[in-house]
Amino acid sequence: MPAVVKIEELHKTYDSGEVPVHAVRGVSLEIQQKEFLALMGASGSGKSTLMNMLGCLDRPTRGRYLLDGVDVSLLDKNELADIRNQKLGFVFQGFNLLARTTAVENVELPCLYGKQRLSSKKMRERALHCLDIVGLSNRADHMPNQLSGGQQQRVAIARALVNEPQLLLADEPTGNLDSRTSIEVMGVFQKLNDQGITIVMVTHELDVARYCKRNLILRDGVVVRDELTSDRSIAEVELGKLRQAETAAKLTTTA
């Protein structure tokens, strides 16, 4: 089975003034189906640049990138747009939901831009199914301002899933969430991954990266560590511990 992602000697150099900035320096990497990879590194390490290239939002200066067997380095702008719509799903730190649009309508949006023309009924069915996957089918008609931060992020995840992508890319998806909600969102990602969805997530938080199966750490545009997660965190277990701690705290307060 071919890798979902295969990159070979990928470089990205920005010409800013007299001194070129080498953001990514010769990264080679394979990501297999059903992997859950955390892409980590300090500010300026190249992780965001690499994520943008994986998402076909930026072109490499040189090197080769195969997505689901397709060499995206050779595609023009329109073909890249089709690839992003058909094979990639994006989840952002800021949710990026349309404020005056219901949850289900937000989820339907990517269907409007795809080559495959779906009927309104089919789009609604697919969007409702994705909301059900993330546990929000009962909030389908709610506006974003009627949803909590965690619920908004789950709507964003459902939107990323609606076109059945080969790869889900998440950029600091818990960055705007509190600790408990972050665990709940990581639980959604773990369930999706258990169902066979390949996920790459940018994060700078070690405790969030522990929910992934594999950690890739960059420094100065180079991969310095690539390892399986040891003592992996499981969201359901961590939520159970949190509930026990909250119960114990209440008992102590009322005693």
Is residue 17's pLDDT more than 80?
Answer: no
- 227-235: average pLDDT: 95
Is residue 255's pLDDT more than 60?
Answer: no
- Give the pLDDT confidence of 74-108 residue by residue, as tens digits: 899 989 988 998 899 999 888 899 999 999 999 99
Q: Sorting pLDDT into bands at 50, 70 and 90, what band is 254? A: low
- Give the pLDDT confidence of 105-126 residue by residue, as tens digits: 999 999 887 767 788 899 999 9
- 205-229: average pLDDT: 95
> What's the 3-state SS for the chain?
CCCCEEEEEEEEEEEECCEEEEEEEEEEEEECCCCEEEEECCCCCCHHHHHHHHCCCCCCCEEEEEECCEEHHHCCHHHHHHHHHHHEEEEECCCCCCCCCCHHHHHHHHHHCCCCCCCHHHHHHHHHHHHHHCCCHHHCCCCHHHCCHHHHHHHHHHHHHCCCCCEEEEECCCCCCCHHHHHHHHHHHHHHHHCCCEEEEECCCHHHHCCCCEEEEEECCEEEEEEECCCCCCHHHHHHHHHHHHHHHHHHHHC
Write down all domains in the chain, each with its CATH number in brackets.
5-254 (3.40.50.300)
- Give the pLDDT confidence of 137-150 residue by residue, as tens digits: 999 999 999 999 99
- 183-205: average pLDDT: 94
pTM for this prediction: 0.91
Q: Sorting pLDDT into bands at 50, 70 and 90, what band is 253? A: low
- 214-235: average pLDDT: 95
Residue bearing the bigger pLDDT, 46 or 2: 46
Q: Sorting pLDDT into bands at 50, 70 and 90, what band is 184? A: very high
Is residue 247's pLDDT more than 60?
Answer: yes
